[in-house]
Amino acid sequence: MKKALALVLVLATLLTMVVGCSGNHDADQANSDGATTSAASAENLKDLSGKVVYWSMFNEGEPEAEAIQKAADMFMKDYPECEVEIQWTGRSNQNIVGPALEGGEQIDILDNFSYGMSPERYLDITDMMNEPAYGQEGVTVAESMLPILNRANEQGQEQAGLAKDKYYGVQMFPWVVGFFYNKDLFAQAGVTDAPETWAEFLTVCEKLKAANINAITCDDAYMTLIPNNYLARLIGSDKIAAMSASASDPAWQSEEVKQAFAEMEKLSAFMSPQTATNKYPAGQQEFALGEAAMYLNASWMPSEVAETAGEDFPWGFFAFPEVEGGAEKAGYSSVGGIPLAVYSKSQNPEAAKEFLRYVISKEVQDYLAEMGGAPATVGSEWTGARTECTDVIAAAEKVSGLNCDLSSEFVSAVFTIEMNKVLTQQTTAEKAVSALTSEASKY
């Protein structure tokens, strides 16, 4: 998954794929064994017909696109009077969906959105989420999903002013932030267990350095994840929210902030020398080439470096270490998914909701895992490079966003810059804290 801001597509160049009985994909080729299967039994089929139009952030050939395609083929086999039209719009879909809707374009299913930007766009799909799940007996669709994803969805709705006891979307294609590590380099340094606390983490870094191995690398796109994760665990999510809201919040002058800078100064001794000049994705490539032992990122990273890392890369993954004495405990994680929703003015809302039910089905999610993607259903294992991500996301109890929800103009213009300078040994923790204090009054 590339950062959305780094990808710019023009509407006129988008490739549209219509999936129908005479579409580009033969329904008989939807499954890995060459057969299209059904999700619903004959007696459970609904009276549905017409077209469902879905604009997706994914591109043809990606594991997520393959899974969505499979769901479409299964859906149309069960509902021959229905047609699913998919436009693979890529990561720029957030920029083009709004104008398309305003222009009267039929779009029934949306993804890759933020509830807060246009909360009126999303249809209440609680009835569908309370229906029986396909492929998992005795549970509803909501109950079939990883609980942390429902929690993330609830949190996003609540922040946008939507009712948190209803569903206006569903979180699919989950991700979780943690440290990817090279098991071979750990073994070379005599490290046998992944660290669970910050103190253990620093000990691992010391062993790697003693073995002449760069412990950590990063680049400009993701370096902020390290200090943000440390500070959020130390100071707590409530204070993080207050700090994001105001540069004059007292927490900015707290001992916890000073401690965070001091710990990043310690960590700087273990960062790869290339970190200071790494431009995305240089840090990821450095890791994939085996030139550094760890890289903090979300679980989508293996797909971004698959060609460089190769099939035999010794992937490992562990949660960001718990900060001793911190406000947040081990279950605090940056976890999320790609939200899918039915447009509130959908021309075919019942068919759109039923199609989403197919996307969430256990069969489709297991197929996604086979293709190398991250499934959202309980009991569906993450595979390959993401295998150990399964344990981390299963242990997650409290949700934060990608950057631990620390976000503001002051954060990006001052805090992040000063933290990055400390991590790359361009300044000291003491000087960075002083700069933070002096600049706060300007925001």
Angstrom distance (rounded) from CA 412 to CA 383 = 35
pLDDT tier at 56, thresholds 50, 70, 90? very high
Write the CB contacts of 231 (distance below 8 Å, at least 6 apart in sequence): 240, 256, 257, 260, 404, 406
Instruction: Say what percent of the chain tops pLDDT 90.
Output: 86
Q: What integer pLDDT is reported at residue 39 of this predicted model?
A: 83
Residue 33, pLDDT > 50, answer: no
Residue 16, pLDDT > 90, answer: no
Q: Average the pLDDT over 182-205 and give the result.
A: 98
Angstrom distance (rounded) from CA 177 to CA 167 = 25
pLDDT tier at 19, thresholds 50, 70, 90? very low
Per-residue pLDDT reduced to its tens digit, 334-387: 999 999 999 999 999 999 999 999 999 999 999 999 998 999 999 998 999 999
Integer angstrom CA distances of residue 229 from 71, 226, 232, 356, 384:
36, 5, 5, 33, 26
Taking all residues of the chain, what is their mean pLDDT, rounded to a whole number?
91
Q: What integer pLDDT is reported at residue 4 of this predicted model?
A: 39
Per-residue pLDDT reduced to its tens digit, 216-251: 999 999 999 999 999 999 999 999 999 999 999 999
Angstrom distance (rounded) from CA 20 to CA 73 = 8
Q: What integer pLDDT is reported at residue 157 of this predicted model?
A: 95
In which element (H, E) is residue 419 found? helix 416-423
Q: How far apart, in Å, do the first and last CA atoms of the chain sit?
A: 32
Tokens 């609904």 sit on residue: 46
Residue 23, pLDDT > 80, answer: no
Range in 1-10, 211-220, 371-380, 402-411 with the lowest mean pLDDT: 1-10
Residue 151 burial (CB count, 10 A): 17
Q: Average the pLDDT over 312-330 and give the result.
A: 97
Residue 35, pLDDT > 70, answer: no
Q: Say whether the peptide bond before residue 375 is cis (omega within 30 degrees of 0).
A: no
User: Which is more confidently placed, 12 or 300?
Assistant: 300
**Contact between 284 and 219 (Cβ < 8 Å):** yes
**181 CB-side CA count, 13 A:** 28
**Contact between 191 and 208 (Cβ < 8 Å):** yes
| Kind of pairing between the strands at 109-111 and 315-319 | unpaired
Residue 30, pLDDT > 50, answer: no
Beta bridge partners of 145: 377
Tokens 């129908």 sit on residue: 20
Q: Average the pLDDT over 388-403 and give the result.
A: 92
Residue closest to 52 by CA, chosen among 325, 274, 351, 303: 351
Angstrom distance (rounded) from CA 171 to CA 141 = 12
Q: Average the pLDDT over 383-402 and give the result.
A: 92
Angstrom distance (rounded) from CA 9 to CA 334 = 28
**Contact between 151 and 174 (Cβ < 8 Å):** no
Q: What integer pLDDT is reported at residue 18 of this predicted model?
A: 35
Residue 7, pLDDT > 50, answer: no
Written as one letter, the residue type at 415 is F
Residue 13, pLDDT > 90, answer: no
